[in-house]
Structure 1
Amino acid sequence: MCRLLVLTFLLLPGLAIAALPLDRIRLPEGFRITLVSDQVANAREMAWGERGTLFVGSNAAGKVYALEPSSGQVRTVASGLQLPVGVAYKGGDLYVSAVSRILRLRDVESRLDAPPEPEVVYADLPRETHHGWKFIAFGPDGKLYVPVGAPCNVCNENPDLYAAIHRMNADGSGMELVARGVRNTVGFDWHPQTGELWFSDNGRDLMGDDVPDCELNRLEKAGQHFGFPFCHAGEVADPKFSLRPCSEFVSPVAKLGPHVAPLGLRFYTGSQFPAEYRNNLFIAEHGSWNRNEKIGYRIKRVELNPDGSLKRQSVFAEGWLEDGEVWGRPADVLVTPDGALLVSDDHAGAIYRIDYVGN
Structure 2
Amino acid sequence: MTLRRLILLSFISFPGLADTLPLDKLHLPDGYKIDIYASDVKNARQMALSDNGILFVGSREGGVISAVIDKDHDGKADEVLIIAKDLTMPSGIAIKDGDLYVAQVSQIVKYSEIEKNFRALPAPEVVIDGLPDKKHHGWKYIDFGPDDWLYLPIGAPCNICQTNGGDKFDNPEFASILKYNLKSKERVWVAKGVRNSVGFDWHPQTKQMWFSDNGRDMMGDDIPPCEINRVDDEGAHYGYPYFHAGTIADPEFSVDKNPEDYVAPAFNLGAHVAPLGIHFYHGDMFPESAQNNLFVAEHGSWNRSKKSGYKVMRAVLKDNEIVDYQPFIEGWLQADETSWGRPVALLTMPDGSLLVSDDFANVIYRVTYQK
Q: Give the whole-Å Cα distance in 2 for the aligned partners of 1:352 and 1:147.
A: 26
| 1:241 aligns with one of 253, 257, 260 | 253
> Aligned residue for 2:186?
174
Rounded Cα–Cα distance in structure 2 between residues aligned with 1:140 and 1:249: 26
For 2:65, the equivalent position in structure 1 comes to 64
Task: State how far apart, in whole Å, the 2-side matches of 1:50 and 1:228 are.
Answer: 38
| Cα drift, residue 112 of structure 1 | 2.3
1:122 equivalenced with 2:128 (yes/no)? yes
Distance in 1 of aligned mates of 2:184 and 2:93 = 15
**Equivalent AA in structure 2 for residue 54 of structure 1:** L
2:152 and 2:82 map into 1 onto residues whose CA distance is 23
Question: 1:59-138 maps to which residues of 2 (within 5 A)?
Answer: 59-70=60-71, 71-138=77-144
- Separation in 1, partners of 2:54, 2:122: 16
Deviations 1:263-299 (A, max 9, x none): 0111000111110110000010100001000000000
1:143 maps onto 2:149 in alignment: yes
CA distance, structure 1, for counterparts of residue 101 and residue 21 of structure 2: 31
What CA deviation, in whole Å up to 9, does each residue of 1:38-77 have, x standing for no partner?
2111100011111111110001111011111235211222
Structure 1 residues 229 and 277 mapped into 2: Cα distance closer, same or farther (>3 Å)? Answer: same
**Match of residue 225, structure 1, among 230, 237, 253:** 237
Hey, what does 2:159 align to over in structure 1? 153
RMSD between superposed Cα atoms in Å: 1.4
State the 1:172 CA deviation: 8.0
In the aligned structure 2, how far is the partner of 1:315 from the partner of 1:105? Answer: 37
Q: Could you say which residue in structure 1 is the equivalent of 2:46?
A: 45
Q: Single out whichever of 94-103 and 114-123 deviates more from structure 2.
A: 114-123
Distance 1:193 1:20 in 2: 37
Equivalent position to 1:338, from 344, 347, 351:
351
Give the TM-score, by structure 1 length. 0.93
C-alpha deviation, 1:200, in angstroms: 0.2
Q: Post-superposition shift, 1:16?
A: 11
Gaps of 5+ in 2: 1-15, 72-76, 165-170
- How far the C-alpha of 1:170 sits from its partner, in A, is 3.0
For the residues of structure 1 that align with 2:92 and 2:46, how far apart are their CA atoms? 5
**Whole-angstrom CA distance in 1 between matches of 2:315 and 2:17:** 34
Structure 1, 110-119 or 333-342: larger mean CA deviation: 110-119
Find the counterpart in structure 2 of residue 275 from structure 1: 288
Contact 1:102–1:120, Cα closer than 8 Å, also in 2: yes
Contact (CA 8 Å) 1:78, 1:118: kept in 2 or not? no
Q: Percent identity, please.
A: 49
Question: Matches of 2:254 and 2:327 in 1, distance apart?
Answer: 33
Amino acid at match of 2:193: G
8 Å Cα contact 2:190/2:236 also seen in 1: yes
Query: Where does structure 1 lack aligned partners over 5 or more consecutive residues?
Result: 1-14
More strand by share: 1
State the TM-score, normalized to the length of structure 2: 0.90
Q: Find the counterpart in structure 1 of residue 360 from structure 2.
A: 347
